[in-house]
Structure 1
Amino acid sequence: MSCYLIEELLPLYIEGDTSAETNKIVAEHLHSCESCRHLYQEMKEPILLMKTPDPMPYLDEKEEKRKFEKRYYGKLLRRASIVFSVVYVIMIILYWLK
């Protein structure tokens, strides 16, 4: 059997999802072919996944809400005070012009 077919069958062979006849053919080929045997050994080794640190550190919801409100309402109050000041100045100017 060709190496290409064995390479395609290896995942099924490793999982035990092949028939007894296919197992025999694959085992014989692995005994005679160094490159397929090396691939088989690589595929059979478990993959070690590195444990990564928690991507989201614990966030205090109340603190985050407070910071958001401070930023949002701070900008809102600043804008409102600017608009109020401009309107107030315009009203004073119009009063003096009469």
Structure 2
Amino acid sequence: MSCYLIKELLPLYIEGDCSAETKKIVEEHLRSCEICSHLYREMIEPIPLIKMSENPIPYMDENEEKRKFKERYFGKLLLRACIAFGIVYVVMVILYWFK
């Protein structure tokens, strides 16, 4: 059997979800093929977990995040309103003086 088919069957073989005949074919191929045998050994080894860094990302409460967003948003909104009011006031004073 070709290596391509064995590579496709390896997950089923490892999980034990293949028939007895397929299991026998895969085992025979693994004994004769070093490449597929190496792949099989890699697939059955557990994957090591990534070690957490010493400075993990700090958790921020959702309510705190909303409060900060509103503070920034409404702060900018208030600043824009003050600037618009100031411009309108200056324009009205200038128009009043030049009548």
TM-score, reference length from structure 1: 0.68
Residue 80 of structure 1 is matched in structure 2 by 81
Q: Distance in 1 between matches of 2:87 and 2:96?
A: 14
Counterpart Cα distance in 2 of 1:5 and 1:87: 77
- Say which one has the larger Rg: 1
Q: How far does residue 11 in structure 1 lie from its aligned partner after superposition?
A: 1.3
Q: Which residue of 2 aligns with 1:6?
A: 6
Change (3 A) 1:41 1:63: closer
Aligned residue identity for 2:82 = S
* Percent of residue pairs identical: 72
1:1-98 equivalences under 5 Å are 1-52=1-52, 57-61=58-62, 63-98=64-99
Structure 2 CA distance, aligned partners of 1:34 and 1:40? 10
The CA distance in 2 between the partners of 1:34 and 1:77, in whole Å, is: 71
The structure-2 alpha-carbon separation of the partners of 1:91 and 1:51, relative to structure 1 and needing over 3 Å to count, comes to same
CA spacing shift, 1:47–1:88, aligned 2, 3 Å: same
* 1:33-90 deviation line (CA, Å, top 9, x unaligned): 222211111111122232556x763224554444334433333333322333333334
Offset of 1:15 from its aligned partner? 0.9
* Displacement of 1:12: 1.0
Distance 1:22 1:61 in 2: 53
Gaps of 5+ in 2: none
Question: Cα RMSD between the aligned structures?
Answer: 2.7
Number of residues paired by the alignment? Answer: 97
